[in-house]
Copies of this chain bind each other. A is one copy, B any other.
Amino acid sequence: MTGLVDLDGDADARRLAWVYLSRVVQGPCAPLSALIASVGVCEAARAVREHELPEPLRGPTAARRAVDSAAADLAAIARLGGRVITPDDPEWPAWRMLGLNQLDTDRDREAAVPLVLWARGPLSLASASERAVAVVGSRCSTGYGVQVAGEIACELAGRGWTIVSGAAFGIDAAAHRAALAVGGRTVAVLACGVDRPYPAQHDRLLAAIAETGLVVSEYPPGTPAQKHRFLARNRLIATLGDGVLVVEAGLRSGARNTVKWARRLGRPAMAVPGPVGSASSAGCHRMIREGEALLVTGAEDIVDEAGPLRLPVADDTTDPAAHLRGAEADIYATLPAVGSRLPRDLAQQSGLDLPTVRAVLVGLELSGLVGCDSDGWFRTRGRRPG
């Protein structure tokens, strides 16, 4: 859907349609994104309103389709000093969303691109997410974790990286505060409406972020924070960064969910180690040990992993796969620029048999062009669309 200019309505009508649909489904909805991609946002809004819907969309739209509060919602966000960012807007970070676009939404309907983002703050979302690292971690952080998160976020923000996090207690707050302290850029992604300070004790922190940075959410104003929204929110945190850093995480930390999203999106996942006796580092150690996250010790390591050298701008002279021929070139071309594929899907798409696909993949892996993890095979040097 992203980047595609629909011709099914004027700008105002389209904005009202996006906002109406955002209020109706409240969060990611893969079947609705598919409908919009197919018929345009205005026509999709009409279909929802009139209940002319394919079966998978009837449930998710039933509760709120009858009330169109789009105009009131736009007025409300304006009163908050905020705005709605839709895929039609220049600040929509379309290339960031590509990874989400390519995930398998049959398995997971929340793996969809957000319909809109509700935002407060002067930063342009497109430029804020141009060079960004998500810094997440335990709410029950230790002094060690707060200090390390602060040092790393200070240094990255000072070098022009945006710090993306979730405004939670502990590591999230330490990362945001460090970015603010050095006059750097920071984006808070909420699991509730941007009018709701969550947690309440971070009222001032969120106000400070909204003053120079950006507070965003895919949920319309007034939406309360609920458990399932945090998981969907984590996917947005991972989406908006070049990589995800976990500073402290207990064994059951939500940070592991954010790391999982990073891996599905083909972004580097990184974790900071700590004392082995600390329960707040146990999740980091497990992720490193099990190959889910790379061990990093400071900003330098993170720039190495997530920096532009890892995500070169594509052009014909630097295409790392330009020398490939035959089955290697075919398989490489079948892999998405961002995200993973399973060998059987690659076999189906390329028309090659599964043993050949597997053999070619390991050859490409030896050349450093592809890698694999539990979600499948991916290009190691994803091409960032211009």
Chain A residues within 8 Å of B, Cβ to Cβ:
144, 148, 272-277, 281-282, 285, 288-289, 294-298, 301, 358-359, 362-363, 365-366
Contacts and interface: CB of A to CB of B under 8 A. Distances in A.
Nearest to A147: B277
Contacts of A144: 275
Nearest to A152: B276
Contacts of A274: 273-276
A366 B289 CA distance: 19
A297 to B, nearest CB: 4
Contacts of A301: 289
A233 to B, nearest CB: 27
27 contacts: A144-B275, A148-B276, A148-B277, A272-B276, A273-B273, A273-B274, A273-B276, A273-B281, A273-B295, A274-B274, A274-B275, A276-B298, A282-B297, A285-B295, A285-B297, A288-B288, A288-B295, A289-B294, A289-B295, A289-B296, A289-B297, A289-B301, A359-B359, A359-B363, A362-B362, A362-B363, A362-B365
Contacts of A276: 148, 272-274, 297-298
A289 B294 CA distance: 7
Q: Dominant SS at the A interface?
A: helix
A301 B297 CA distance: 22
A148 B281 CA distance: 15
Copies of this chain in its oligomeric complex: 2
Most B C-beta atoms less than 10 A away, residue of A288, A295, A359: A295
A282 B273 CA distance: 11
Nearest to A151: B277
A288 B291 CA distance: 11
Nearest to A284: B273
A79 to B, nearest CB: 45
Nearest 6 pairs of A and B residues by beta carbon: A273-B273, A362-B362, A276-B297, A289-B295, A288-B295, A285-B297
Contacts of A295: 273, 285, 288-289, 295
Nearest to A270: B289
Nearest to A355: B363
Most B C-beta atoms less than 10 A away, residue of A272, A297, A358: A297
A74 B298 CA distance: 55
Contacts of A365: 362
Contacts of A358: 366
Contacts of A277: 148
Most B C-beta atoms less than 10 A away, residue of A276, A277, A359: A276
Given A273-B288, A358-B366, 11 more contacts: A144-B275, A148-B277, A272-B276, A273-B274, A273-B295, A276-B298, A282-B297, A285-B297, A295-B295, A359-B359, A362-B366
A154 to B, nearest CB: 14
A73 B273 CA distance: 50
Contacts of A289: 294-297, 301
Contacts of A281: 273
A363 B274 CA distance: 36
A358 B365 CA distance: 12
A274 B276 CA distance: 7
Contacts of A275: 144, 274-275
Nearest to A288: B295
Nearest to A359: B359
A310 to B, nearest CB: 15
